[in-house]
Amino acid sequence: MYACSKNEKAIAPEATTISFEIPANFPVPTYNFDDNKLTNAGFALGKKLFYDARLSADNSVSCGSCHQQFAAFANLDHKVSHGVNNCQGKRNAPPLFNLAWQKAFFWDGGVKNIETSPLNAITDACEMGTDIERIITSLKGTAPYPDLFKQAFGSDEITSQKILKSIAQFTAVLVSGNSKYDKVMRKENGFNFSSVELAGYNLFKEKCASCHAEPLFTDFSYRSNGLDVVSADEGRSTITGVNTDFGTFRVPTLRNIEYTGPYMHDGRFYSLDEVLEHYNSGVKAAGNLDSRLKNGVPLNASEKEQIKAFLKTLTDNEFLKNTLYNES
Amino acid sequence: MKTSQYLLALLCPIILLSSCKKSDDEITANPKSSFTIEFEHQVNGAVLALNTTTYKNAKGEDFKINVFKYYVSNIRLSKADGTAYLVPESYYLIDESKSESKFITINKVPTGDYTKIEYTIGVDYALNFAGAQTGALDPINGMFWTWNSGYIFVKLEGTSPQSTAANNALTFHIGGVIDPNNTIRTFSTEINAANPLRVRTDAKPDVHFIVNAASLFTGKTDISFSALNFTMGGANSVIVADNYTKGLFRLDHIHN
């Protein structure tokens, strides 16, 4: 009894009750916390781990250094290890939100569960087991972690499973569904597209939505949008071993796109203007180029401005500035 | 998996306090017992010794083994009348460097005479894609690929003068569950009906398997280490899995 009340004082519980909110215009999520009961204590622990550099293979970076909230938890990344002889080189860190709707993770869909997604970052592919052991030992010896694990899972025993489940309580709760676009779609009072945004939305539906499908702005398929004639990164075929998947990558979401640059799997474009110019004039005849892009997507200057105006309605400031998610 | 364990932990005292009578009845109605399986590691009939002994593959090339570990899961026992018992939650990681891992005990098996034993070499499809696991499936065991979800089913590392890889390394990490590179294999062996696996409340039999590590390199395709010395999933892993499907395990005897 005494120990309990002491713990509560030592670690201030989250002020708000953490909940997983499904926006009214979203489909049914894939991850539903059935095997990972969402609690304030679990979320708080997951968030603390997310911002702790003890979790990386060499203690140098935290999840939060590569996934930054002001960038919708995206960032240009340095190399992420993909194992001996299997290096994928530089990949751009994808934003982290609406992950509960994803069935696969990473640009090539190699990871299949949100709970196991952090493993690649926290371990060296060759030394994985030892890395996890080292992290567990370090957390065991660092207050207040044992108490936090006890509050979240009922025992202060620390396992990789509890680490991963608590991180998933943080990452799966990150939902972005309060952009201007969402409010217009949900017909919330006073929200309407401007005429430029509306023109952009219509162009988007015609030219982009077949891949960047509403409301998540991706159909989760793997395609080539013609960045290179021969892709330096094998992409999806590393996972499937199928030639027709060579150089294809997951269609990325475009929510919060204003803040998630640089763009594409290797972060090659620094602005939306460059992206739109790619679709207009830069699409290369890659072997597996998606047939819809055979002739690129011709866009004149005013059409580009309209699409850009629409893309900016996908910015969700409530999400980007939500203090529940920042390092505190 | 975990939730049910917690539930059990919570329920246990209640069961002990309130239902002694009932569980007694259950035991007489449906008696259960246990048996053990021993995995004896060899290389073409010689004892497997890590790091020291030099062996030869089917091509006559020398090699040493530094790491040898693999998963056995979903153990299924059948009786002569065709009825079968699937051992629930049966996931085992057998590791040459951990001698205790080479003896596994299967508990709560309905008593009877079993004439066939089957299991998956590796981990079934669903658990390759499931959330964070613990126990034998904990990624801490170094048998989980982090960039391409799924377990390494069989891991053999070593050296061979013929290997063209850095430090003459041999790296055979076999796994992957998606066609065309699905490496899930099932091992199945009949047990002589004259001496079946007799699970009895008063006897705990021991099943003894010989496990031949060299079976990775022969059987269907003889592997030369100059041509193949590294695989982590993909088409080459399929070649290795097709080799060991038949030759990895051999039922040696059963002590009843």
Q: Does the distance separating the beta carbons of B146 and A111 come in below 8 Å?
A: yes
Same domain? B20 vs B130: no
| Cβ neighbour number for residue B176 with a 10 Å cutoff | 30
Question: Which helix (H) or strand (E) element contains residue B121?
Answer: strand B112-121
Instruction: Enumerate the domain spans of chain A.
Output: 33-175, 180-312
- Average of per-residue pLDDT values in chain A: 90
> Between these two residues, A2 and A164, which has the higher pLDDT value?
A164
Same domain? B24 vs B37: no
Residues in chain B closer than 8 A to A125 (CB atoms): 145-147
Nearest chain B Cα to A130, which residue? B140
* The pLDDT of residue B76: 98
- Is the pLDDT score of A126 beyond 70? no
The total number of structural domains in chain B stands at 2
- Is the pLDDT score of A124 beyond 50? yes
How far away is chain B from the Cα of A47, in angstroms, using its nearest Cα? 17
* The pLDDT of residue A83: 42
pLDDT grade for A61, boundaries at 50, 70 and 90:
confident
Q: Where do runs of H (alpha helix) occur along chain B?
A: 2-18, 20-29, 125-128, 235-247
Nearest chain A Cα to B157, which residue? A126
Same domain? B240 vs B201: yes
* Model ipTM over 0.90: no
Same domain? B42 vs B160: yes
* The pLDDT of residue A130: 72
- Is the pLDDT score of A76 beyond 90? no
Nearest chain B Cα to A103, which residue? B129
DSSP per-residue codes, A68-117: BGGGTTBB---PPP--TT------PBPP-SSGGG-SSBSTT--B--GGGT
Please write the tens of the pLDDT for every residue from A18-56: 999 999 999 999 999 999 999 999 999 999 999 998 887
Q: Is residue A220 within 8 Å of residue A144, measured between CB atoms?
A: no
How far away is chain A from the Cα of B170, in angstroms, using its nearest Cα? 12
Q: Which of A82, A106, A160 sits opposite B138 (nearest CB)?
A: A160
Domains A33-175 and A180-312 alike in fold: yes
- Is the pLDDT score of A10 beyond 60? no
* The pLDDT of residue A129: 66
* The pLDDT of residue A302: 98
Global pTM value:
0.89
* The pLDDT of residue B8: 41
Q: Is residue B156 within 8 Å of residue B225, measured between CB atoms?
A: no
Interface test with A, best of B1, B10, B93, B146 (most A CBs within 10 A): B146
pLDDT over 70 percentage in chain B: 89
How far away is chain A from the Cα of B61, in angstroms, using its nearest Cα? 23
Is the minimum CB–CB distance between B42 and chain A shorter than 8 Å? no
pLDDT grade for A16, boundaries at 50, 70 and 90:
confident
Residues in chain B closer than 8 A to A163 (CB atoms): 132
Q: Is residue B50 within 8 Å of residue B97, measured between CB atoms?
A: yes
Q: Does the distance separating the beta carbons of B148 and A85 come in below 8 Å?
A: no
Same domain? B134 vs B18: no
Q: Which of A85, A154, A164 sits opposite B132 (nearest CB)?
A: A164
* The pLDDT of residue A23: 97
* The pLDDT of residue A60: 76
Task: Collapse the DSSP code of B32 into the 3-class scheme (helix H, G, I; strand E, B; otherwise coil) and give the result.
Answer: strand
Nearest chain B Cα to A165, which residue? B132
* B159-218 residues touching A, CB cutoff 8 A: 171, 178, 180-181
Same domain? B18 vs B64: no
Same domain? B98 vs B1: no
pLDDT grade for A328, boundaries at 50, 70 and 90:
confident
Please give the class, per CATH, of domain A180-312: mainly alpha
Is the minimum CB–CB distance between B232 and chain A shorter than 8 Å? yes
Q: Is residue A135 within 8 Å of residue A55, measured between CB atoms?
A: yes
Residues in chain A closer than 8 A to B128 (CB atoms): 112
- Is the pLDDT score of A90 beyond 90? no
Residue B172 CA to residue A179 CA, distance in Å, equals: 49
Q: What is the mean pLDDT of residues B86-91?
A: 96
* The pLDDT of residue A3: 35
- Find tokens 């960039």 and name the residue: B147
pLDDT over 90 percentage in chain A: 79
Is the minimum CB–CB distance between B131 and chain A shorter than 8 Å? yes
Please write the tens of the pLDDT for every residue from A274-283: 999 999 999 9
Could you tell me the two tokens for A220?
């989760």
Q: What is the mean pLDDT of residues B122-148?
A: 95
Nearest chain A Cα to B237, which residue? A241
Residues in chain A closer than 8 A to B231 (CB atoms): none
Q: Is residue B255 within 8 Å of residue B229, measured between CB atoms?
A: no
Interface test with A, best of B147, B152, B155, B182 (most A CBs within 10 A): B147
> Between these two residues, B241 and A15, which has the higher pLDDT value?
B241
Same domain? B147 vs B200: yes
Could you tell me the two tokens for B37?
């399986």
Please write the tens of the pLDDT for every residue from B58-84: 999 999 999 999 999 999 999 999 999
Q: Is residue B158 within 8 Å of residue B63, measured between CB atoms?
A: yes
Is the minimum CB–CB distance between B130 and chain A shorter than 8 Å? yes
- Is the pLDDT score of A145 beyond 90? yes
Q: Does the distance separating the beta carbons of B129 and A110 come in below 8 Å?
A: no
pLDDT grade for B25, boundaries at 50, 70 and 90:
very low
Please write the tens of the pLDDT for every residue from A217-270: 999 999 999 999 999 999 999 888 899 999 999 999 999 999 999 999 999 999
Chain A, chain B: beta-carbon pairs less than 8 Å apart: 98
pLDDT grade for A84, boundaries at 50, 70 and 90:
very low
Q: What is the mean pLDDT of residues B194-221?
A: 96
Q: Which CATH number fits domain A33-175: 1.10.10.60, 3.90.950.20, 1.10.760.10, 3.30.2020.30?
A: 1.10.760.10
* A188-247 residues touching B, CB cutoff 8 A: 238-242
Q: Does the distance separating the beta carbons of B134 and A161 come in below 8 Å?
A: yes
Q: Which of B131, B230, B235 sits opposite A113 (nearest CB)?
A: B131
Same domain? B51 vs B108: yes
Same domain? B85 vs B11: no
How far away is chain B from the Cα of A104, in angstroms, using its nearest Cα? 9
Residues in chain A closer than 8 A to B141 (CB atoms): 129
| Cβ neighbour number for residue A148 with a 10 Å cutoff | 24
Please write the tens of the pLDDT for every residue from A283-326: 999 999 999 999 999 999 999 999 999 999 999 999 999 999 99
* Full domain range(s) for residue B24: 1-28
* The pLDDT of residue A120: 85
Same domain? B40 vs B17: no
Same domain? B207 vs B223: yes
* The pLDDT of residue A14: 52
Q: What is the mean pLDDT of residues B213-219?
A: 98
Name which of B66, B134, B135, B79 is nearest B111 in CA terms: B79
Q: What is the mean pLDDT of residues B8-20?
A: 40
